[in-house]
Amino acid sequence: MHLGLIGYGNIARTLMGVLARENAAISRVSVVSLPEFADATRTALAQDFAGESAVYTDSAPLIQARPDLVVECAGHAAVQAHATAVLRAGIEVLIVSIGALADAALLDAVERAAAEGGTRITLPAGAIGGVDILSALRPSGIESVTYSGRKPPMAWSGTPAEDLLDLPALTREAVFFTGNARDAATQYPKNANVAATLALAGLGFEATQVRLIADPEVTRNIHEYTVRAGAANYTIRIEGNPSPDNPKTSVTTVYSVARAVLNRTRKVAI
């Protein structure tokens, strides 16, 4: 398989390690990097992957190289910059920065580009799990999806929570956001991915309820959600370890992306 990557940071590098350990049948890797990091990306990629590889600074040469799948793991701006061109060229894109799709115009643009290219967009479960049953239950009629995102106080630094709470001084849990997934994704874009994933799999951005919590009692990123639907009710709680190289990213995200890639290289996809 020829794997394309947009972004070569924490998720991409950890992914390459997982794929190597799993003996994934990857023959070639092509990466789009920001120009200022292209040399560092070449060095890192050469350390991580012994096969044929290339680093580009735009999506046009990536498209010419015709990877079998492109994994975006670079952030919301990269989805905006590259996803439509790659899709329109008929190459499947797995979008990790799912929160970008809270922008209705961008979601519409990528869907149209995929239709024009005769390909599809894949959204991995990312930091959470249980997205298979949520998506499957949709035709049975979903009544409610209620999500709580609980992280250590300092994991919310650099977000508007900083203006609402004295994060370093918190001694007990504080719920600082209650609202729908659209507002959560707009106000907390760096933490929008899980809310957006649940919204897209289930009830949509307006009807998916979100609570965001800073909790000094926890050391992991805790995602908990409850679904009420015609065919079943369920609650799931995931205590994700933060990535060593980027504590804002739960390391489960990398395994979820690795699963999607491995499923394309093996005879049994599960």
Ligand X SMILES: NC(=O)c1ccc[n+]([C@@H]2O[C@H](COP(=O)([O-])OP(=O)(O)OC[C@H]3O[C@@H](n4cnc5c(N)ncnc54)[C@H](O)[C@@H]3O)[C@@H](O)[C@H]2O)c1
- Give catalytic residue positions: 223
Q: Which parts of 210-249 interact with ligand X (CB under 6 A)?
A: 243, 246, 249
Structural tokens at position 113: 């580009």
Does 8 participate in binding ligand X (rule CB under 6 A)? yes
Instruction: Tell the smallest beta-carbon distance from residue 109 to ligand X (Å).
Output: 16
User: Judged by CB under 6 A, which stretch of 43-51, 67-75, 143-151, 203-211 contacts ligand X?
Assistant: 67-75
Does 194 participate in binding ligand X (rule CB under 6 A)? yes
- Strand arrangement, sheet containing 2-6: 52-56, 28-32, 2-6, 69-72, 92-95, 121-122
Does 16 participate in binding ligand X (rule CB under 6 A)? no
Quote the CA–CA distance of 212 and 224 in Å, as a whole number: 11
Q: CB–CB of 48/13 below 8 Å?
A: yes
Which amino acid would we find at residue 15? L
Does 253 participate in binding ligand X (rule CB under 6 A)? yes
Instruction: Tell the smallest beta-carbon distance from residue 186 to ligand X (Å).
Output: 14
Angstrom CA distances, 130 to 58, 105, 222, stand at: 35, 27, 14
Q: Which of 30, 53, 84, 97 binds ligand X (CB under 6 A)?
A: 97
Does 159 participate in binding ligand X (rule CB under 6 A)? no
β-pair type (242-243, 246-250): antiparallel
Phi, psi of 61 (to 5 degrees): -65, -30
Q: Which of 3, 19, 33, 142 binds ligand X (CB under 6 A)?
A: 33
- C-alpha neighbours within 13 Å on the C-beta side of residue 39: 1
Quote the CA–CA distance of 168 and 152 in Å, as a whole number: 10
Q: Which of 3, 6, 94, 145 binds ligand X (CB under 6 A)?
A: 6
Does 184 participate in binding ligand X (rule CB under 6 A)? no
Quote the CA–CA distance of 245 and 86 in Å, as a whole number: 28
Does 9 participate in binding ligand X (rule CB under 6 A)? yes
- Residue nearer to ligand X on the CB measure, 80 or 226: 80
Dihedral of CA 255/260/261/266: which sign? Answer: positive
Does 75 participate in binding ligand X (rule CB under 6 A)? yes
Does 7 participate in binding ligand X (rule CB under 6 A)? yes
Residues of this chain that bind ligand X (CB under 6 A): 6-11, 32-34, 37, 73-75, 77-78, 81, 96-99, 126-127, 193-194, 197, 243, 246, 249, 253
